[in-house]
Structure 1
Amino acid sequence: MHNNKPELISIHHDDYHAQHIGRTSDGSQFFLTTPFEPNKCEYIALFKFDGLGNLIDSNIEILGERGSFTDEFASKKYNDMLQSLGDIEFGNIKVKPFSVNFNNTEIGLITRVPEDEDDAWAVQLLPGNFMAFFEPWDSGEYDT
């Protein structure tokens, strides 16, 4: 049983939830994602990290309640945020768990502490929990 607190999480670029991750021209790492609170609010979140994986900037926008906005509206906001990065290269990133309080909601890659000896450390993309990372932290793999 693994039981090491996560310090640095590898996220490997893919065509699913890790589609828009990589590096900017200045070497910063980025992660563009769409967290959501079920039956409440959907967001677009752009997180930027330094080369050591420390969060250095976050840009979070409220889309609204599911069904209260069009796919075209969401796509435009998402693409505008992606374009705001300038020249980018998609690829794997290594970042530290973090949390940002926005709209009275904790948003980020948040560490889950084991509740008992049979439980494992995890890092979950919250809200929504649609990406969950477990040891080994450098595998780049996540559960959905």
Structure 2
Amino acid sequence: MPERFTIVPDDYHVPYAGTAADGRKFFLSEELFSFGTAPDAGTAYVGLFLWRADGTFDEIRVDEVPRPDGLPPGQAGPAGADDLVAERLAELGDYVLEPIEVEPFTEKVDGVTFGWKVGRYDDGSYYINIEPGDFIAYYEPWDGLDYDT
């Protein structure tokens, strides 16, 4: 079972990953969502995941935001919460976008599971997927260069 994995910033689902001014590792997403049924079609969140400098889990900061109109249930997409994203980035101080090596974790916030959950395929291999929304799944070799969506 993987104890660490790498998150690499990209222009797709991982625009914000790196190291904050205080040395902590971070991942910020405005694409987190819980599954729901029409007409609600789920809830969207902006989540800032923080790990200590050594890659062990530290804390998560979560804000519920409106889910974008027209986004199909079960599909990730930017929530359009630009001001909140900018506020969360400002909290990081002078941050650097760069690959980070961190441990998977999950934590419940208001009954919703957030984090990076380790799972296992039928063939015995492992994966790590983001929660809520399950729109990013990393797999061996855990280098963060490829992920399933």
Same fold (TM over 0.5): yes
In structure 1, stretches of 5+ residues that fail to align are none
Find the aligned partners of 1:65 and 1:15 in 2 and give their Cα distance: 21
Does residue 123 in structure 1 map to residue 125 in structure 2? Answer: no
SS of the equivalent of 2:34 reads coil
Does residue 89 in structure 1 map to residue 96 in structure 2? Answer: yes
Deviation for aligned residue 1:120: 2.2
- Judged with a 3 Å threshold, the aligned counterparts in structure 2 of structure 1 residues 37 and 45 are, in CA distance, closer, same or farther, namely same
Deviation for aligned residue 1:18: 1.5
State how 1:32-47 maps to structure 2 within 5 Å. Answer: 32-34=28-30, 35-38=32-35, 39-47=41-49
Identity percentage of aligned residues? 30
State how 1:55-74 maps to structure 2 within 5 Å. Answer: 55-67=57-69, 74=81
Does residue 9 in structure 1 map to residue 5 in structure 2? Answer: yes
Hey, which of these two has a bigger chunk of strand by percent? 2
In structure 2, stretches of 5+ residues that fail to align are 36-40, 70-77
Does residue 26 in structure 1 map to residue 33 in structure 2? Answer: no
- Tell me which amino acid in the other structure corresponds to 1:24: A
Query: How high is the TM-score relative to the length of structure 2?
Result: 0.82
Deviation for aligned residue 1:121: 0.8
Deviation for aligned residue 1:103: 2.3
Query: How high is the TM-score relative to the length of structure 1?
Result: 0.85
- Please say which of residues 46-55 and 58-67 is displaced more in the overlay: 58-67
Name the structure 2 match of 1:100: 107
Find the aligned partners of 1:103 and 1:127 in 2 and give their Cα distance: 12
Deviation for aligned residue 1:72: 8.9
1:74-107: CA deviation from partner (whole Å, max 9, x where unpaired): 1111111111111111110111110110121111
SS of the equivalent of 1:99 reads strand
Find the aligned partners of 1:139 and 1:87 in 2 and give their Cα distance: 23
- Tell me which amino acid in the other structure corresponds to 2:42: K
Name the structure 1 match of 2:38: none
Match of 1:132 among 134, 137, 148: 137
Q: Runs (4+) of structure 1 moved beyond 4 Å?
A: none
CA contact (8 A) 1:9 1:137 kept: yes
Deviation for aligned residue 1:65: 4.4
